[in-house]
Chains A and B, each alone.
Chain A
């Protein structure tokens, strides 16, 4: 608190808060709200970079035998696109939401370790710059976002690209572990009086599980990256089959991290949607304890499915079947979630704001992505479809149609809280429909392309393959619609920051604690906390106990 004697002053615009004036106040900040905003802004910045790389790929694939970029450049571009979207967009976006919202939602002043929080951000930021520095520092990495050995050995890729990839991911990995630990500790130790773990918002449950996955899976990647760095810099032989090393070992390490990583990315998205849907359905969440329990089940199972990424490496019969079974099993708690979202909307008074539209599209698109995942848990189908465009379609339905749609829904929902201004609903609706059109146009056909046999990461394709060039052309056109809709989104965020309607404390009539403080929240968060007697403290404020029988809202 800057000055205890000063009467509590509220602001209605982020740019009005004197504590946040000037670059230095941001660079030196340990305020979880500023760090959260910086995470999200850098994620959005890197998203533009990743999107540009994607468009270059789509232009290259628009027509057969195209020479828009060289083969070598193409390898660097798809590697950087994948790495950027997973580590420089997905991770900081979810950390931004997590560190901004978690303390507010549990009624805390800040994170458990504010300085560690700042370290986590800056270590991410410079790690990310290090990755992009590779373009001018001798060539970008070119072995795909999962950098399979032995391609990553020095004998095959001698330029420093993989070294940059490994160093940057190691640096960011250490920062992620720190932030994961910080988030868990915050949820476990800093909850407001009365807020038992049964009463925290479901978003916080998802963040808690994500934090656990981060803290226990990122170290596996860090260890594997140390080994690959040693292979390249100290001439060790971990992943080099020529010297007795094992390329499969890298795959095991990478996917032991990589599959929990998928859930690290998607769980916060689940959390966002789980907050948005009840508010715009005017109902409590259906089966809230099932939602929390299925999250924990997903977290637990996600450590036992990694080998389904390796079905074609010649695993034994039992390994194949055990991992096929566990991969099918993880669809069950995920299905429970889809069910609870639908059941929450069922019979509610739905308000289709842009946030709600994105949440609804998320449910549909994520279900498609989930189902195409289940298809790949079936071993013969996986053998047929692996490393094809079907996989590209699957990952984009999960991470773009799923995670990113959920996160954009979250941005429409919480932007008023963060900035004090409403996003334009008119631009928002245009953004939504164009993005749905562009996204599905780009990626739905990729299922077919994959089934027709187009391999992923291929630089070009010959003339005369039936439908392949037509579908690629269509996909590229749709990608430009998608990019245009993202342009509208950025314009909306910039325009509404200046011209948007003043939001007020609680523009959506929501129930969780972050809406109890002013918009934007003052640096010290809460003057006085409302009493927490249920999952919906703000509902309880306006609905005294004798009133709560009308809706099943007040009680747990």
Chain B
């Protein structure tokens, strides 16, 4: 059997998947009432650009993992790149929220606001938590001892980060791309 930290993280990710499934189902359940609003107020192109940033961060995370396995000293560089790309995504989400709120679209306005902000908000929260974890890894790789961050630590946080990305693919497809179906 694999290492317990990895097993624990995989199980955690599985339980988180159920949590997000419920939030996505809530969005889908009300799509009939909210689809029009979604199509008129959301900008898939702009958010698409930030989506690309988040997805590339999965790639840089993978490179960081590989670098750690090979004991190469580019770990910090790839971790830093991952953090910057994740940060770009969060800033993008912040700008989008600010724009929507300025247009008086809030969480309590209607069902679109309720489902949209709850779903994307929880995803954003998970990205933020991921960024904190990545900053810890970065700190360890710069200031830590020789074996830090450990391979297992890198791997388990990478599992989480890839999961957060995968969730975004589902969320982005459901919320932003449904209008094209």
Q: Give residues in A with beta carbon < 8 Å to B.
A: 112-113, 177, 180-182, 184-185, 188-190, 215-220, 222-224, 226-227, 230, 234-238, 243-246, 249, 253
Contact = CB atoms under 8 A, between A and B. Distances in A.
The 4 closest A-B pairs by CB, nearest first: A223-B22, A236-B114, A235-B108, A219-B19
B113 interface: yes
B15 A185 contact: no
A258 to B, nearest CB: 14
Nearest to B12: A181
B107 A234 contact: yes
23 contacts: A112-B7, A112-B8, A181-B8, A181-B11, A185-B7, A188-B4, A215-B11, A215-B14, A215-B15, A217-B18, A219-B18, A219-B22, A220-B19, A223-B19, A223-B26, A224-B22, A230-B107, A230-B114, A234-B107, A236-B118, A237-B108, A237-B110, A238-B118
A236 B108 contact: yes
B108 A244 contact: no
Given A234-B107, A235-B108, A245-B111, A188 B7 contact: yes
Interface of B is mostly: helix
A244 B110 CA distance: 8
A510 to B, nearest CB: 27
Contacts, number: 92
Given A219-B19, A223-B23, A238-B26, A243 B7 contact: no
A497 B115 CA distance: 54
A112 B4 contact: yes
Contacts of A244: 30, 33, 110-111
Interface of B: 1-4, 7-8, 11-12, 14-16, 18-20, 22-23, 26, 29-30, 33, 107-108, 110-111, 113-115, 118, 122
A115 B95 CA distance: 39
Contacts of B11: 180-181, 184-185, 215
A185 B3 CA distance: 9
Interface of A is mostly: helix
Given A238-B114, A243-B111, A216 B3 contact: no
B114 A237 contact: yes
B22 A253 contact: yes
A216 B110 contact: no
A238 B4 contact: no
Contacts of A234: 107-108
A246 B18 contact: no
Nearest to A224: B22
A182 B5 CA distance: 10
A216 B4 contact: no
A237 B113 CA distance: 9
Nearest to B19: A219
A189 B22 contact: no
A15 B8 CA distance: 34
Contacts of B115: 238
A218 B4 contact: no
Contacts of B3: 189
A189 B114 contact: no
A547 to B, nearest CB: 33
Contacts of B14: 215-216
Contacts of B16: 219
Given A185-B8, A188-B7, A237-B111, 7 more contacts: A185-B4, A188-B1, A189-B3, A219-B22, A226-B122, A230-B118, A245-B111
Contacts of B8: 112-113, 181-182, 185
Contact of B4 (A113, A177, A220, A226): A113
Given A227-B118, A237-B114, A238-B114, A189 B18 contact: no
A189 B4 contact: yes
Query: Which of B12, B14, B15, B29 has the most chain A CB atoms closer than 10 A to its own CB?
Result: B15
B110 A222 contact: no
Contacts of B12: 177, 181
Query: Which of B12, B23, B26 has the most chain A CB atoms closer than 10 A to its own CB?
Result: B26
Contacts of A245: 30, 111, 114
A236 B118 CA distance: 9
